Amino acid sequence: MPELSQETERERGVPPFGLAEVTGPSMVPTLYHGDRLLLRHGVRARPGDVLVLRHPFQQDLLVVKRAAERREGGWWVLGDNAYAGGDSTDYGVVPDELVLGRVVFRYRPRKPDQRSPLAVLRWALSAARPVLSGRSASRRLRAR
C-alpha cells in the first residue's frame, strides 16, 4: 500500500501528530502505565520503532507495541515486557492499515506523592524524553 505524502494527509484532514496514553504494563521498561505519548502519523515504520496501532480483533482498541519485523501481510509486533502478552504472539501479523503512527516522544506525569525537592528533581530529569528506534529495545526483541 503506497504511503500518503504529508500534503495529501493535510488535505484529508489527518494531522501530522497525535496523542495517546499508555495503559497497562506491556511496554515496561520503555513505557509505563500513565505515560503520555506524542506520535507521528504517516511515517514509514521500521523494525525497532514503537508504534500505536489498532488491535486486529477490536479495532476500537488502540495498542502500543514495538515493530519486531516485517512479514507478509504487515508487521509482527511485540511488547517490551515478555510477561504481559497482548502482542503478535496472540493475534498474529498486524496489517499496515491498522498502524496509526510511530511514537516519537514520551512524557511521564508527576505523581501526587512526588513533593520533596529531590523527588521533583528526579521527575524533572526523567519525565520527558524521545522514544528512539531500536535504542531502547528490550532484551526480548534483541534475542530474536
Q: Give the Cα-Cα-Cα angle 4, 5, 11 (nearest 5 degrees).
A: 90
The owner of cell 494527509 is 9
Q: Return the HEC string of the chain.
A: CCCCCHHHHHHHCCCCEEEEECCCCCCCCCCCCCCEEEEEECCCCCCCCEEEEECCCCCCCEEEEEEEEEECCEEEEECCCCCCCCCHHHHCCECHHHEEEEEEEEECCCCCCCCCHHHHHHHHHHCEEECCCCCCCCHHHHHC
Cell of 97: 492499515
For 22-79, the pLDDT digits (tens) are 999 999 999 999 999 999 998 899 999 999 999 999 989 999 999 999 999 999 999 9
Predicted pLDDT of residue 3: 37
Contact 97, 25 (CB under 8 A): no
Beta bridge partners of 71: 74
For 69-113, the pLDDT digits (tens) are 999 999 999 999 989 888 999 999 999 999 999 999 999 998 888
From the CA atom positions of the chain, what is the Rg in Å? Answer: 16
